[in-house]
Amino acid sequence: MKSQFEEKIRAAFGKVGEQWLEQLPEKLKEICNEWGVTIEGEPSNLSYNYIAYVRDESNRSLVLKVGIPGYDFSNEIQATKEFQGEGFVKLLKSDDQLGSILLERLEPGRMLKEVEKEHQIDIYLDVWNRLNRQPAQGLPPIHNWFSALLNPVANDLVSEGQIETALRFKKEIEDTSAGNVQLHGDLHHENILLEEERGWLVIDPKGVQGDIYFDYISFLFNDLAGDLELLEKRVNQISSRQRLDELRLRKAAVALLTVQVLWAVEDGAEDALEMYKVLEYLSGTIE
């Protein structure tokens, strides 16, 4: 298990994370025994959950994901169940109490960010449009994320005026919404993977509901590297091809990116400043 992963868990979850890390080896044994799987390895890019490549009794190569049990992980499990169908990774087993899910392994597992940028938008929108976006059933509202604007973390980036603007735009989106649907919440280049037989598929939903415009935002800013021309191209292409109100999309983006910048500051993320520069630029495109 990577020390960087352990440090990230401790930083994000404190004593709860420390305790979870201590118990993880025994928990993995329990899950493997109960589900009849054997751990074969783990990816190099562990984030806020433990991921392992496992093999079951039928010799299938699968993916085991284990997180800290609770509200967020339960929402991810529910969202994964709700999104089952075309365009989404198959869920085989789950356990809320253990904070674990067993998924098909996508091979070769190539991420969308590995595709040449001019082709990414075609794949992204194809996957986006195949997802099951029915009215949400019990998932928490994305509205909750904006509480970060009401009691913002101390920072030298986001001003009070920018927070007020984000809150105003967020209210505009909600007031003009056609209604809540289930959202992925984090649909970007690392969460769209290639499977040899089924094509490009989606993984790792956050598990929220809200206005559908909010589910385009993660892709806009991901794998951007400060390329504002690419950002504009994405905004224009998504608006045109999905028949969206481009100004409304920009406002949704400013509102949600303001939240994400504050989260990045709170987490000490290295890309907080880069995200803020994108926020400044995009805010300046709205009259």
Could you give all domains of the chain from N- to C-terminal order, each with its CATH number? 3-104 (3.30.200.20), 111-284 (3.90.1200.10)
Instruction: Return the pLDDT at 2.
Output: 65
User: What local confidence, expressed as pLDDT, does residue 134 receive?
Assistant: 83
pLDDT in the model for residue 32: 97
DSSP secondary structure letters along the chain:
--HHHHHHHHHHHHHHHHHHHHHHHHHHHHHHHHHTEEEEE--S---SSEEEEEEETT--EEEEEE---SHHHHHHHHHHHHT-STTBPPEEEEETTTTEEEEEPPSEEEEGGGS-HHHHHHHHHHHHHHS--PPPSSPPBGGGGGGGGTSPPP-SSS-HHHHHHHHHHHHHHHHT-S--EEE-S--SGGGEEEETTTEEEE-----EEE-GGGGGHHHHHTT-TT-HHHHHHHHHHHHHHTT--HHHHHHHHHHHHHHHHHHHHHHT-TTHHHHHHHHHHHHHT--
Q: Which residues does the chain have with pLDDT short of 70?
A: 1-2, 136
pTM: 0.92
Q: Report percent pLDDT > 70 for the chain.
A: 99
